[in-house]
Every structure is written in structure tokens, then in C-alpha cells.
Amino acid sequence: MNYRPQRSIRWKWLEEKGINVQADPYQLAYMQSLWAVPQDVQAVFCEGKAGTGKTALAVLAGVYEVERGTYDRLIYVRNAIPVRDMGHLPGSVGDKEKPYMQPLNDALDLVQPGLFDKWTRPDVAKLAAITSAYTRGVTWKKAFIIVDEAQSFDLTELQTIYTRISDCCKIVTTGSLRQNDNYRMKKIGGLFPLEIYKEHFREKQVAIHELVNNYRGWFANHADDVQDTIERLRKEDRVC
């Protein structure tokens, strides 16, 4: 795939939203995979630290493709772990889940403030924001699908999501193994479920990317490296 700077309409559209990936070869390669047709790249896996743009770029790519009619809907799937203990809270399922969809909302606001509410209206229905608890039994067709925070999905959850997808869909999986919220998750053969699926799909119509530049600043970047300090302290027998 050619990763030279792009000048097509879609890249100009991205720059109009204040996003310039041309200076970051990792982001540029990621965007080209996101915008590739499913026949060339149906699935994209992207790992990276917090603040590298994994989710925002995926959402922007999906919005553009839905707006131009390539796909009918943008489907955003978030892990259900943060909301599993929220049954006692008032409101509908959507009311309970909405705070955990903030990364999606923030990215949509880059396109147009209030786009989340507009696209989730029943008369528009261009966006579905759900947790993994509500994916079993559905079939997705002609949709741009983003599976966010995938490092916290267990193998069964990922399998349930991936087996919902028709060939006319685009599927993007993002995550960071440094930020796993599922403390009960066990490795299988030394690998986390996300790593297993990356290996399972390797050499298919799949692109695997890693973003390395944190654009939030040095503090957030250094905070994400705490595991390196833990490993050093373990070697020094200062932590268990």
C-alpha cells in the first residue's frame, strides 16, 4: 500500500476538521487502511498508547464513509465491563451507557457538534453506540464497525462480535494492552484474546497497525509507561 502524502477530497475533508495525519507516517498508514475498500482491507487492528488517535481517526473515517454512502451506519461497540454493575441506576440502557461513549462523542464533535444526538435519532439512525452485551443474535450489513477498548474483551465476546459481520462491512478494532480493565481475563497460550485474533487473521484481508505518538503531552505519555517502572521494580524485588 502506498503511504505517500494524499491530496484527494477525503484527505482535504480530514484537514478541514483540524486533523493532519500527513506528518505522522503511522497515522497516515492507519488512515489509508481505514479508507481502503473491504475487498482490499476488510478488517483493521490498531494498538497504541492513549492519546495516539486510535479511536478518533477510526470514527472520522467512519463518518466520512457513512456520509458519502459507502456504508449505511456507523456502529460503535464498547466493552460492557464499566456498565455491568449499573443495573441499579435510573434511566434506560442508553442513559446508563452514554457516559462510557464519550470517546465516540468527542470524535463526532470534531465533525459537527451534536452529531451524536443527531445520528442516533430514530428518523436518522446512522449511528448505533452499544456495549458488547447487546451484540449476540444480530447481523450487521453495510456498516462501518468500530470495536473500541478491545483489550478488555474476552475471547467469547470478540468471537460474538466478529461473527455478526457481513462481507460488506468494515471492522476496526482498537485497543491498548497497557490499559486492560478486565482483571479476570486470563491469557491463552501466553496471549491475550486481542493478540490471538490478530494472529488468527494475519495474512487475510487485514491490516495491523500500531500508533506510537501521544498527542496529549508528555505527562499522559509518561503515565502510560508505568508498566515499565513496575517491571523494573519487580527486578529490583521492590514490588510483588
Could you report the per-residue pLDDT of 146-198, keeping only the tens digit for each? Answer: 999 998 888 988 999 999 999 999 999 999 887 777 777 778 888 888 999 99
This prediction's pTM: 0.86
Q: Which pLDDT band holds residue 227 (cuts at 50, 70, 90)? A: confident
Q: What is the predicted pLDDT for the residue at 3?
A: 44
Q: Could you tell me which residue, 70 or 177, shows the higher pLDDT?
A: 70
pLDDT tens-place string over residues 5-39: 556 888 889 888 888 898 899 999 999 999 999 99
Q: What is the predicted pLDDT for the residue at 240?
A: 57
Q: Which residues contact 202 (CB under 8 A, 6 or more apart)?
A: 208
Q: What is the predicted pLDDT for the residue at 134?
A: 67
Distance between CA atoms of 109 and 95, rounded to whole angstroms? Answer: 19
Residues 9-215: name the CATH superfamily: P-loop containing nucleotide triphosphate hydrolases (3.40.50.300)
Domain ranges of the chain: 9-215
pLDDT tens-place string over residues 78-122: 886 655 555 555 666 566 666 678 889 898 998 999 999 999 999
The closest of 65, 48, 53 to 18, measured between CA atoms, is: 53
The answer to whether residue 74 scores a pLDDT higher than 90 is yes
Q: Which pLDDT band holds residue 2 (cuts at 50, 70, 90)? A: very low
CA 20 to chain centre: 19
Q: Could you tell me which residue, 49 or 76, shows the higher pLDDT?
A: 76
Q: Which pLDDT band holds residue 223 (cuts at 50, 70, 90)? A: confident
Q: What is the predicted pLDDT for the residue at 86?
A: 52
Q: What is the predicted pLDDT for the residue at 204?
A: 79
Segment among 46-50, 53-57, 95-99, 105-109 with least mean pLDDT: 95-99
